[in-house]
Structure formats: C-alpha cells, structure tokens
C-alpha cells in the first residue's frame, strides 16, 4: 500500500511540475501510457490471490483515475495559459495609424476600359466578350475581306501553325470578330460593346504587338450615320470630361463597313507629354462605319430589314491621350515606377455616379 501512496504522490508532483504541454505529455506516457508505471503495476496483479487481487486492483484503478484527472486538469490549465500568452503577445492596437504602403495599382488600360464600360452602360450597351484566338471566318471572311485580299496581310496578322485539317488559327487582329459572333448568336435589336485584347505584328510610339480595343455594334431598323456620330461624340465628351475636345471624322475604308470613317482627336505632341484640346497634331482613336450588307448577310441578318453601325476604339491610345503618356510601349513594359506613377487605386472604380477618374 505504501508503495502506491508514494507512487501517487510522485506522479501528482510530476504532473504539477510539467511546465508545458509537451512536458505534460511525457509525464502522461510515463504514468498511464501502455508501458507506464500504472500498467506495470497492473501486470503484477496476475500473481496475487483472488482476494488480494480485488483489493489491490481497486487501489491501482483509483490511483490511475486520480492521476488521469490531475493530467486533464493540468492540460486545461496549460492550454488556457498558452492562449492567454498568445492573446497578449499578438494583440494589435487598432487605433495606431496604418503605415502608408502602396501595394499595386490598377493598370491605366484596365482603368480606361472600366471608364468606357461605365459610359456605354449609361447609353444602354451590354458587354460581350470573345476569344483571343480566332479563325479566318470570324476575323476576316465573315467581315467581307475577299479571299487572298491584301487586307489580310495588311493587318500584320500573327498566324498559328496549320492544324490537322490545314486550318490556320490566328490571334485576332481586331475586336470586330465579336460583331460576327454577336450577330450570329442574337437577333436584332443589338446594342453591345466588346472589350478585349488584339494583336498585330507592329511596334512604335503608338503601336504595340498586343493592344486593347473596345468594339461597338448597334443593329436595328433605321439606324443611320447620325446615330453613329452622336454616340461617338457623346462618348468622347464624357470620356475626356470635356465638351471642347475637337474630333475629326475622316473618310476611310474598311471591308466590313460602308461608308467608313476614322476618328482623330486633336492634341499636342510637341513636349514630352501628350495634351488634348490644344496643338496641331491628331491621334487616331477609332475606326467606324455602317455595317456592310455582306456582313449582315454572312451573319444571317436581312440587310433589307436591319442596318446598323459599328466602331472599334483603341483603349490604350485613349488612355495615352487622357492621362498624358507619350509612348504606348511603356504601357506594357512592366516598369514598377511607371505603374506606380500612372496606376490607379483599386478602390476608385469608375462609375457614372462618383465620377470617372
């Protein structure tokens, strides 16, 4: 009996002395684990007479239960202490001023796209998106480019290797294939814009091999050039937040529109910056025109019943003009100094209510 009293006192002292959870676990294993002191005691019962066994067995089990209870209590106490320690150590003073660290910014192209979408949304345009990798039909044929027409080459197209069927996919050279996809999928009246990436093998101050366009398409009965001109002039005035921006419509040729025009914005490019509303230079920002009857037909729309207009705007160029960046190539150079200078806060999403920029 005295051996049990000594052992119990010893084990309880060890439990009380365990300073942390891992020390406590070592005590637990040594005391009530499979190879522990209590198990060793229980193994000795086999050699006793039935009466002795009953007495001593009861005593050993009582000891085991008390040690186990002490272990549980100590564990709970240590866990609470640990939690209190962490809560104290990890406490944050939320009233301290946050350090001003600027982490990332919205790229001007994305900002400009959001601004464009916000403006056209107020004019009732929905947004449609389509693939960057196109086929010849959507990028050229359905848009009334004659087969072997030099315009296919004029676009400086990036072609892929021909596939098993001999078909050459390509990176879309403009967002106009979305006119085709939209007209095949929807019945008039149609009023959409389609923002996205476009690709041409070209690089100088105002050209990059990858750039962004927003396509516009309106198809209904009795749509005419007046609607086109009003829409574009309204857009330009709202985009530049300036009614005085001078634009000029120049006659042009696109296979998919007739008549066609290009629109330039007056600007000054003499200094290191580009400025609108002054100067004697012009920067082309978009192509437009009345959708060609052949395009309507290729998309299953009867040109005797419906007509409409389309336009394709250079998003990056509009950004250059609005935010005064002289070189388009800088936009995609990923220079963090340029990005932190020209980038926008992610919390300042453009919308017609709070303003565009």
**Residues at the contact surface with ligand PHE, assessed by CB under 6 A:** 174, 176, 254, 257, 260, 287-289, 310-312
CB of 90 to ligand PHE, least distance (A): 56
Give the nearest distance from C-beta 138 to ligand PHE in angstroms.
Answer: 12
Interatomic CA distance for residues 160 and 10, integer angstroms: 81
Q: Which is nearer to ligand PHE, 45 or 154 (CB)?
A: 154
Give the C-alpha separation, 342 to 328, whole Å.
Answer: 13
Nearer to ligand PHE, 11 or 214 (CB): 214
**CA dist 299 → 50, 141, 180 (Å):** 99, 11, 6
Shortest Å, Cβ 198 to ligand PHE:
7
Nearest distance in Å: CB 289, ligand PHE: 5
Residue 231 vs 257, nearer CB to ligand PHE: 257
* Structure-block tokens of residue 185: 């999928």
Q: How far is the CB of 280 from ligand PHE (least distance, A)?
A: 24
Task: Give the C-alpha separation, 260 to 228, whole Å.
Answer: 11
Q: Minimum Å distance from CB 244 to ligand PHE?
A: 26
Number of alpha helices (DSSP H) and beta strands (DSSP E) in the chain: 12, 10
Q: How far is the CB of 307 from ligand PHE (least distance, A)?
A: 14
Of 289, 330, 65, 348, whose CA–CA distance to 207 is shortest? 330
Residue nearest ligand PHE, Cβ-based: 312
Nearer to ligand PHE, 259 or 324 (CB): 259
Contact of 291 with 256, CB cutoff 8 Å: yes
Tell the smallest beta-carbon distance from residue 310 to ligand PHE (Å): 4
- Rank residues 245 and 310 by Cβ distance to ligand PHE and give the closer one: 310
| Beta carbon nearer to ligand PHE, 287 or 350 | 287
Q: How many CA atoms lie within 13 A of 122 on its CB side?
A: 16
Q: Which long-range contacts (CB under 8 A, 24 or more apart) does 203-206 make?
A: 203/329, 204/329, 205/326, 205/327, 205/328, 205/329, 206/283, 206/317, 206/320, 206/328
Closer CB to ligand PHE, 14 or 176, in the complex:
176
DSSP string, 253-292: EETTEEEEEEEEEEEE-SSSS-EESSSSEEEEEEEEEEEP
H-helix or E-strand containing 72? Answer: helix 50-89
Answer whether 194's CB lies under 8 Å from 130's CB.
yes
Max Cα-Cα span within the chain: 117
For ligand PHE, give the closer residue by CB, 31 or 228.
228
């Amino acid at each position: 009996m005295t051996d049990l009293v000594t052992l119990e006192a010893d084990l309880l002292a060890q439990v009380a002395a365990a300073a942390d959870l891992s020390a406590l676990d070592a005590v637990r294993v040594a005391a009530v684990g499979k190879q522990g002191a209590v198990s060793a005691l229980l193994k000795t019962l086999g050699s006793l007479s039935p009466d002795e066994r009953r007495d001593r067995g009861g005593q050993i089990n009582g000891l085991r239960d008390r040690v186990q209870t002490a272990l549980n209590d100590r564990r709970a106490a240590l866990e609470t202490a640990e939690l209190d320690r962490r809560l104290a150590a990890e406490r944050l003073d939320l009233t301290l001023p946050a350090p001003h660290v600027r982490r990332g910014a919205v790229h001007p192209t994305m900002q400009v796209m959001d601004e464009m979408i916000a403006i056209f949304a107020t004019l009732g345009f929905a947004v449609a998106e389509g693939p960057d990798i196109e086929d010849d039909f959507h990028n050229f044929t359905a848009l009334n480019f004659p087969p072997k027409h030099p315009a296919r080459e004029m676009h400086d197209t990036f072609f892929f290797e021909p596939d098993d069927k001999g078909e050459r996919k390509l990176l879309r050279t403009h967002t106009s294939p979305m006119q085709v996809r939209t007209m095949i999928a929807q019945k008039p009246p149609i009023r959409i814009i389609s923002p996205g990436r476009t690709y041409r093998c070209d690089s100088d101050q105002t050209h990059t091999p990858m750039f962004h366009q927003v396509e516009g398409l309106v198809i209904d009965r009795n749509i005419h050039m007046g609607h086109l001109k009003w829409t574009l002039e309204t857009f330009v005035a709202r985009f530049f937040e300036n009614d005085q921006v001078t634009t000029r419509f120049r006659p042009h040729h696109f296979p998919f529109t007739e008549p066609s025009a290009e629109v330039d914005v007056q600007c000054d490019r003499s200094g290191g910056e580009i400025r609108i509303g002054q100067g004697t230079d012009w920067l082309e920002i978009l192509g437009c025109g009345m959708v060609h009857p052949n395009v309507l037909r290729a998309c299953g729309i009867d040109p005797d019943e419906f007509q409409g207009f389309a336009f394709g705007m250079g998003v990056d160029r509009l950004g250059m003009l609005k935010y005064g960046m002289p070189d388009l190539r800088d936009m995609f150079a990923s220079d963090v100094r340029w990005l932190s200078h020209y980038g926008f806060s992610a919390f300042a999403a453009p919308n017609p209510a709070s303003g565009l920029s």
